[in-house]
Amino acid sequence: MIKIYGKENCRQCEELKSKLVNDGAEFEYIEDIKELRVVASKAKIMSAPIIEYNGKFYTMDSFLKEVK
């Protein structure tokens, strides 16, 4: 399962959600700024969205490269 940690008014978060919906992928979108900060600190990624997939954390660009 793909988990996306995003934030309000995030253009990249919306783009990623749209792409995944169009691709028919199942995902969970979590829009909680406190949880995003915890995940960002753990993953050492300081920009939204942060994607959790197969036990690893990705930026949007690295995730899209990984799943191609």
pLDDT greater than 90 at residue 23: yes
DSSP state letter for 46: -
What pTM value is reported for the model?
0.93
- Structure confidence at residue 68 (pLDDT): 73
- Structure confidence at residue 67 (pLDDT): 83
For β-strands 50-53 and 27-31, DSSP reports them as unpaired
DSSP state letter for 9: T
Residue whose structure tokens are 């028919």: 24
pLDDT greater than 90 at residue 34: yes
- Structure confidence at residue 54 (pLDDT): 94
Q: Which residues pair with 50 in a beta bridge?
A: 5
Q: Which residues pair with 27 in a beta bridge?
A: 2
| Confidence grade of residue 60 (pLDDT, cut at 50, 70, 90) | very high
- Structure confidence at residue 14 (pLDDT): 97
